[in-house]
């Protein structure tokens, strides 16, 4: 008996930790079979239509497990409807018995109750008559109480996760629509001004730049949306990347689009190669470089470095901008946190962190207010 109690205590500790529903049900079957010694078992949960559907079983054929049990139907349905466990010593003499497995001669069935509400039934069977006793009934009742609490905790965690996702989507949509609406408004103003000053070349050039900037903002917003949705949903397509030519190409293209008051430079230390997804690597560098440029509203220096030092491949983006307060550094990885920026989706840093994590790399940030920020990515070499 002591051994059975110790196993139930172990199960309680296991179920008390954060587990998925599948892990919870799997361990429930393993421990309960070891403790009760049954031949067959099935766990059915009560669904929104108030019928019992199997979610885990041992020894039951598929067609039997797929059978839907209504409240009051059979021994299982009776246990659920009455809210009490049922012990049947001889199933051949019980008219309530519904055969699921051949040669089942005794059965013990206990409802799973949480907060006064039936959530399911745990049914165990044996091919030996009168196999289960009152001690087994008490053990199973204690067991299903723990299991019901664990399953409800898992369900509530899942619901909370879905609620958080919906909240995130709402915040996301609000931020995106606000920024896109502002840029479209700027495009409309620019179009009106161009119509009013067709023969003023200086003014046309100024307005055209504002129009182009608004178009670029919308392009970046849409890019962030696609990358945020896609990152983590598609596998990382790794291939060999020669770092020096890749960084040179990226830096040259970024320099062409950077503001005139920002000096962009590249420092290479050696020419190592790495295994990476080129598209995502480019998005990673672009987000870091854009963040650095946005932090230097009055101009400054953006230094991109890469190479290999002490056997470690690295990439680094450093700006001479306004920096980030130390008490805000931990928040930069949160969705929609823009740390003072007036535009953008607030997803750039989330995307950066996800790309780094998906590759198995590490990213560190160091910042000092009024002096600038440095992001450094290190890549372990096999």
Per-residue pLDDT band for 336 (boundaries 50, 70, 90) equals low
Reported as a single tens digit per residue, the pLDDT across 47-63 is: 988 999 999 999 999 99
Q: For position 268, what pLDDT does the model report?
A: 94
Q: For position 236, what pLDDT does the model report?
A: 75
Q: Does the 2-159 domain belong in CATH 3.30.450.40?
A: yes
Report whether pLDDT(234) > 90.
no
Please, which contacts does 153-156 make with residues 24 or more away whose CB atoms are closer than 8 Å? 154/19, 154/20, 154/21, 154/24, 155/21
Bigger pLDDT: 69 or 311? 69
Percent of the chain with pLDDT over 70: 79
Percent of the chain with pLDDT over 90: 41
Per-residue pLDDT band for 256 (boundaries 50, 70, 90) equals confident
Mind spelling out the 3-state secondary structure of the chain? Answer: CHHHHHHHHHHHHHHHCCCCHHHHHHHHHHHHHHHHCCCEEEEEEECCCCEEEEEEEECCCHHHHCCCEECCCHHHHHHHHHCCCEEECCHHHCCCCCCCCCCCCEEEEEEEEECCEEEEEEEEEECCCCCCCHHHHHHHHHHHHHHHHHHHHHHHHHHHHHHHHHHHHHHHHHHHHHHHHHHHHHHHHHHHHHHHCCCCHHHHHHHHHHHHHHHHHHHHHHHHHHHHHHCCCCCCCCEEEEHHHHHHHHHHHHHHHCCCCEEEEEEEECCCEEEECHHHHHHHHHHHHHHHHHCCCCCEEEEEEEEEECCEEEEEEEECCCCCCHHHHHHHHCCCCCCCCCCCCCCHHHHHHHHHHHHCCEEEEEEECCCEEEEEEEECCC
Per-residue pLDDT band for 184 (boundaries 50, 70, 90) equals confident
Average pLDDT over residues 98-126: 92
Q: Which of 124, 93, 122 is nearest to 107 (CA)?
A: 124
Report whether pLDDT(340) > 60.
no
Report strand pairing: 117-126 vs 40-46.
Answer: antiparallel
For the whole model, what pTM was predicted?
Answer: 0.47
40-54, 97-111, 223-237: least confident range: 223-237
89-103, 331-345, 353-367: least confident range: 331-345
Report whether pLDDT(345) > 60.
no
Report whether pLDDT(281) > 70.
yes
Average pLDDT over residues 261-282: 91
Are 354 and 231 contacting, i.e. CB atoms less than 8 angstroms apart? Answer: yes
Q: For position 191, what pLDDT does the model report?
A: 72
100-104, 189-193, 292-296: least confident range: 189-193
**CATH for the stretch 160-230:** 1.10.287
Q: Which of 72, 122, 69, 121 is nearest to 99 (CA)?
A: 69
The two three-digit tokens of residue 373, written as one number: 């920020």
Measured between alpha carbons, how far is 371 from 73 in angstroms, rounded to an integer?
74
Order of strands across the sheet with 300-309?
262-269, 300-309, 312-319, 372-379, 362-368
Average pLDDT of every residue of the chain = 83
Cα 369–Cα 373–Cα 378 angle in degrees, nearest 5: 145
Q: Which of 62, 61, 80 is nearest to 70 (CA)?
A: 80
The neighbouring-strand residues paired with 126 are 106
Per-residue pLDDT band for 146 (boundaries 50, 70, 90) equals confident
Per-residue pLDDT band for 95 (boundaries 50, 70, 90) equals very high
Bigger pLDDT: 318 or 212? 318
Per-residue pLDDT band for 87 (boundaries 50, 70, 90) equals very high
Instruction: Fold for 239-379, please state it.
Output: Heat Shock Protein 90 (3.30.565)
Bigger pLDDT: 165 or 115? 115
Q: Where are the domains of the chain?
A: 2-159, 160-230, 239-379
Average pLDDT over residues 103-116: 93
Which residues does 20 contact at the CB level (< 8 Å), separation at least 6? 154
Report whether pLDDT(244) > 70.
yes
Bigger pLDDT: 188 or 140? 140
Per-residue pLDDT band for 200 (boundaries 50, 70, 90) equals confident
Q: For position 33, what pLDDT does the model report?
A: 87
């Amino acid at each position: 008996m002591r051994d059975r109690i110790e196993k139930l205590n172990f199960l309680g500790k296991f179920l008390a930790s954060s587990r998925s529903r599948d892990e919870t049900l799997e361990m429930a079957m393993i421990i309960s079979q070891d403790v009760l010694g049954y031949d067959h078992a099935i766990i059915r949960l009560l669904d929104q239509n108030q019928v019992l559907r199997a979610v885990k079983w041992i020894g039951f054929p598929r067609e039997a497990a797929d059978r839907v049990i209504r409240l009051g139907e059979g021994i299982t349905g009776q246990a659920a409807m009455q809210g009490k466990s049922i012990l049947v010593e001889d199933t051949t003499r019980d008219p309530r018995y519904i055969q699921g497995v051949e040669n089942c001669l005794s059965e013990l069935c206990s409802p799973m109750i949480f907060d006064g509400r039936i959530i399911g039934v745990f049914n165990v069977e044996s091919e030996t008559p009168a196999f289960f006793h009152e001690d087994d009934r008490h053990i199973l009742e204690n067991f299903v109480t723990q299991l019901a609490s664990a399953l409800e905790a898992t369900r509530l965690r899942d619901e909370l996760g879905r609620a958080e996702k919906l909240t995130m989507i709402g915040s996301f949509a609000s931020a995106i629509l606000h920024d896109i609406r502002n840029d479209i408004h700027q495009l409309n103003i620019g179009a009106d001004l161009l119509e009013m000053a067709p023969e003023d070349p200086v003014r046309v050039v100024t307005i055209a730049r504002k129009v182009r900037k608004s178009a670029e903002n919308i392009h970046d917003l849409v890019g962030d949306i696609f990358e945020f949705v896609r990152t983590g949903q598609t596998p990382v397509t790794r291939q060999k990347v020669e770092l020096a030519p890749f960084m040179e190409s990226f830096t040259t293209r970024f320099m062409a689009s950077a503001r005139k008051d920002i000096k962009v430079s590249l420092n290479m230390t050696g020419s190592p190669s790495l295994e990476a997804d080129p598209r995502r690597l480019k998005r990673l560098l672009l987000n870091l470089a854009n963040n650095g440029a946005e932090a230097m509203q009055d101009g400054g220096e953006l230094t991109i470095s890469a190479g290999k030092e002490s056997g470690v491949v690295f990439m680094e983006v450093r700006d001479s901008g306004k920096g980030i307060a130390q008490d805000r550094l931990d928040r930069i990885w949160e969705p929609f946190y823009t740390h003072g920026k007036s535009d953008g989706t607030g997803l750039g840093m989330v995307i950066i962190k996800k790309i780094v994590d998906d590759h198995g790399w590490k990213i560190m940030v160091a910042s000092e207010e009024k002096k600038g920020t440095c992001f450094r990515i290190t890549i372990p070499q096999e």
